[in-house]
Structure 1
């Protein structure tokens, strides 16, 4: 029987169908449909096509008719409705609502949600979703209630004023006047309780497909404190090791710096410190001024040690010198710290400090808006 759907191919359609047949990455079902149409265009009947390709006549008739009606685009799979959703949008929204509430608000003995705990709670509500399903739903809105982050509101009413002084000094300005060539800015602090952990077995260096290996067991060899003063604009570190922190060790650090040039004869040397007990309050300011009239102590606001640039150097110390901790004794710790100090000073450049008073003001405005929003809620 002759098909009523006579296929006539133009050059473009034939080239495209032959390309699909030859391409090595074409799906086999697509190749079959293209061959059916090409054979039909060459005059083969549906029966001949079916016999040649080993398919049923209905298959040949189907794709001949589809191509006749809509062309090449008809050879693609028709859109399907798919499996109906198991969960309603309301149920998914309920899951996300649970995730955005603290478990304690519902008198549950949990500190935070996990995907399995949420799935368990939903089961009580009559929603039988697995933990992996819950995690997938939460991922749609980047919700991770099992994670937590600490934060703190600023309590110092003069936070901005105090922080501005520090940031201005980093920009070489003090009380609206540019610093002179003989004025210096020192950032100082202590890193306490640095332990000497003597590993029970030697550390093994890295090898092929294997990181450096450090034995877990160790014997304690005591602890010391590392005090450092960092010249912000000259990128020079002055450090010392002490058995503990306190007024006397910090004074020794100040003496170490102020006894040498260019600080001894400088017009002013600004010492930026946090509110640690070694240099806290008005007493510390007066004590420093009495000992060195050209020294000016400037405190960062409370809970703002991140404004102290020496903390960046301490983070470098932690990464490059102290981790992993494997020292025979405290003398070995001290030698390593002081040797690294020399190595650092040989090539150091000032930190690229980009946080300005403008950034500070914007930051505080955001926090103030957030505070007012929470209070209104």
Structure 2
């Protein structure tokens, strides 16, 4: 029996006008010059399984790497919220127990009343998850406060099966490789400390994101997803 390697991809649909329309909207937003009065923010999220060590790991020595027992105890789950402002070279990673509408709206509100308090508007790029909605603010805040958030946020949704268009997903991927992979976190507090330390370090060492894909490139290279024009 032949063992064939399987590669997992986010495969876009073929000839889908809705996908194309949302993709081009995102690409148009990324092509805009930096505007501090209306910054572009990207957000994504990622669940994490918490694991407690059953046996104390053996510290690394000159002869051996750190040794961790293969057994562990499940300690629940957590969710990482990633926010990134590509042109400013800034990202923020926060951790919550859940990924509900309340959690999402609360995280966005902290940014809108903190880092972006003086911005008349922001453009928020995110996926079309049912928790990423205007209505979520009304489930957390009084109507007047919720309306103020909604008035200032312009949503730009990535298309379904088009998560590769979200810069925050790329940031999550980098954080996973550099901070989370092959590590066990027994508590949310430990996970919070580690991802916050990662974000601070990366913010100090990296510049803005150089996004290369333009609408013209998409129309040339992704012709299969553009519908055939009907006359």
Q: TM-score scaled by structure 1?
A: 0.52
Structure 2 equivalent of residue 254 of structure 1 = 108
Deviation at 1:114, TM superposition (A): 1.9
Please give the secondary structure, in 2, of the residue aligned with 1:230: strand
Structure 2 equivalent of residue 38 of structure 1 = none
The one of 270, 274, 294 aligned to 2:127: 274
Structure 1 equivalent of residue 147 of structure 2 = 290
The one of 214, 226, 239 aligned to 2:68: 214
**RMSD, matched Cα:** 3.0
Contact 1:289 1:296 in 2 (8 A): no
Deviation at 1:330, TM superposition (A): 2.3
Deviates more, 1:246-255 or 1:322-331: 322-331
Contact 1:198 1:328 in 2 (8 A): yes
Contact 2:36 2:119 in 1 (8 A): no
Structure 2 equivalent of residue 223 of structure 1 = 77
Supply the distance in 2 between the matched residues of 1:296 and 1:286 (Cα, whole angstroms).
Answer: 16
CA change 1:289–1:296 in 2 (3 A) is farther
Contact 1:321 1:337 in 2 (8 A): yes
Residues matched between the structures, number? 219
Q: TM-score scaled by structure 2?
A: 0.81
Deviation at 1:217, TM superposition (A): 1.3
Contact 2:57 2:66 in 1 (8 A): no
CA change 1:154–1:290 in 2 (3 A) is farther
Deviation at 1:204, TM superposition (A): 4.1
In structure 2, runs of 5+ residues without a counterpart are 140-144
Matched, 1:353 2:208: no
Structure 1 equivalent of residue 166 of structure 2 = 308
CA change 1:363–1:202 in 2 (3 A) is same
Matched, 1:195 2:49: yes
Matched, 1:182 2:37: yes
Map 1:235-246 to 2 at 5 A.
235-246=89-100
Deviations 1:152-172 (A, max 9, x none): 341642212211111121121
Contact 1:196 1:325 in 2 (8 A): no
CA change 1:171–1:286 in 2 (3 A) is farther
The one of 125, 149, 154 aligned to 2:13: 154
Supply the distance in 2 between the matched residues of 1:250 and 1:167 (Cα, whole angstroms).
Answer: 24
CA change 1:291–1:154 in 2 (3 A) is farther
Higher-helix-fraction structure:
1
Structure 2 equivalent of residue 84 of structure 1 = none
Please give the secondary structure, in 2, of the residue aligned with 1:189: strand
Supply the distance in 1 between the matched residues of 2:125 and 2:61 (Cα, whole angstroms).
Answer: 40
Supply the distance in 2 between the matched residues of 1:311 and 1:258 (Cα, whole angstroms).
Answer: 21
Deviation at 1:271, TM superposition (A): 0.2
